[in-house]
Amino acid sequence: MLLVIIALGTTDLLFALDSIPAIYGLTKEPYLVFTANVFALMGLRQLYFLIGGLLTKLIYLSQGLAILLGFIGVKLILHALHENELPFINGGEHVKVPEIPTLASLGVIIVILTVTAAVSLIVSSKREKAAAQSGSSDEIS
């Protein structure tokens, strides 16, 4: 049991350390980065159990997360081009690309997750009703 607890704690710590560059992409304030990582460490394990229980109902979660990761990747590439200092890209000058504001990013993330959850719950509910109706018609005959 001790080995399992150590493995879970190490995994939580690695995920928190992995998210530091992503948080620094949003803000340069060290206090916010530290606070975000502390809250991530406190809530990550509970989130695993919550999502584990919801996976049977959130059937389109993987597609929604794929879209979300694609959006974040595009945002990071645009930000990197906007802040360009590499001599082999545009001679080290900033590339004139649109930059996605943080509030717009947050809005897109919330919309993607909300639509994914809503569609998943609606479809899984309809499937459960259809399965219950077909099960009750089998009992009658």
Q: pLDDT tens for residues 106-124?
A: 999 999 999 999 999 999 9
Amino acid 47: pLDDT? 72
Statement: residue 90 has pLDDT above 90 = no
Statement: residue 4 has pLDDT above 90 = no
Cα–Cα distance, 112 to 118 (Å, whole number): 10
Amino acid 45: pLDDT? 65
Q: What's the per-residue H, E or C state across 20-79? A: HHHHHHHCCCHHHHHHHHHHHHHHHHHHHHHHHHHCCCCCCHHHHHHHHHHHHHHHHHHH
Cα–Cα distance, 12 to 23 (Å, whole number): 16
- Give the chain's mean pLDDT: 82
Cα–Cα distance, 102 to 99 (Å, whole number): 9
Amino acid 74: pLDDT? 92
